[in-house]
Amino acid sequence: SSELTQSPSVSVSPGQTARITCSGDALSIQYTHWFQQKPGQAPILVIYKDTERPSGIPERFSGSSSGTTVTLTISGVQAEDEADYYCQSEDSDGNSVLFGGGTKLTV
Amino acid sequence: QVQLQESGPGLVKPSQTLSLICTVSGGSITTDNYYWSWIRQPAGKGLEWIGRIYISGTTNRNPSLKSRVTLSMDTSKNQFSLQLTSVTAADTALYYCAGTLYGDNRIESWGRGTLVTVSS
């Protein structure tokens, strides 16, 4: 399959937990990475290889994977986390990069 | 991490060819650690992968754009480039170049993006 599916929007109150999911057939065999994008800015990597957090990214960001669905979890959401979030992976052959449609997180 | 900077015309006429260059600093594009990628984003919309090139010359392109996309590298200038032919208004977007780690394929470094408008 050549698609990654994200829900268009998630809304949470400050301090709550936000969960953003990404689904696709290839996700069971390919790594997934997550990006945060704020208006007017280039995307920033917040999770890579399903569960790894780059240096400088707050511990409240975490990732998990189960079968063909991966999840970005933001615990104790802060107002500064309001942004668009995109998942990125590859097709099952590894020949095409795929992006999810993006999820707008409203805090 | 490497730094990337896109350059090229901000306005292209319909049916013409869009040409962009990405200049890499802080590292060599001849490294086997990176793919060099192009990604675009229409205003208010999501990210769309265009394609990537590896130092071996191997290229991968989005199947929906494949017939119109050419990717190349100029190792003497530490640059890589994108050509998109037969453009229409639908190709109007912010175009990013990026460095993608070979192996796990995470996009590690992004340029700031350059806006290309297709209009007569």
Render B10-61 in DSSP notation, one character per residue: SEE-TTS-EEEEEEEESS-TT-SSEEEEEEEE-TTS--EEEEEE-TTS-EEE
B115 token code pair: 């806006």
Of B43, B88, B81, give the one whose Cα is nearest residue B65.
B88
Distances (CA, A) of A101 to A8, A18, A85, B73: 7, 18, 9, 29
Q: Let me know if A70 is exposed, middle or buried by CB neighbors in 10 A (0-12, 13-18, 19+).
A: buried
Percent pLDDT > 90 in chain B is 95
Which residues does A88 contact at the CB level (< 8 Å), separation at least 6? A4, A32, A33, A34, A35, A97, A98, A99, A100, B47, B106, B107
Q: Let me know if B26 is exposed, middle or buried by CB neighbors in 10 A (0-12, 13-18, 19+).
A: exposed
Q: Do B107 and A90 touch (CB under 8 A)?
A: no
Binned at pLDDT 50, 70 and 90, residue B103 comes out as confident
Of B99, B91, B92, B100, give the one whose Cα is nearest residue B65.
B91
Put simply, the chain B residues between 66 and 105 with a CB less than 8 A from any chain A CB are 96, 100, 104-105
Q: Do A99 and B49 touch (CB under 8 A)?
A: yes
Strand partners of residue A100: A4
H helices within chain A, ranges in order? none
- Give pLDDT, residue B1: 82
Compute the average pLDDT of residues B91-97.
98
Q: Is B60 in the A-facing interface, judged by CB distances under 8 Å?
A: yes
- Give pLDDT, residue B68: 98
The 10s digit of each residue's pLDDT in B12-32 is 999 999 999 999 999 999 999
How far apart are alpha carbons B50 and B109 in whole angstroms?
A: 16
The 10s digit of each residue's pLDDT in B29-69 is 999 999 999 999 999 999 999 999 999 999 999 999 999 99
The whole-chain average pLDDT of chain B stands at: 96
- Give pLDDT, residue A1: 53
Put simply, the chain A residues between 11 and 50 with a CB less than 8 A from any chain B CB are 30-31, 33, 35, 37, 42-43, 45, 48-49
Sites in chain A below the pLDDT cut of 70: 1-2
Compute the average pLDDT of residues B71-95.
98
Q: At which residue do the structure tokens 């052959």 appear?
A: A93
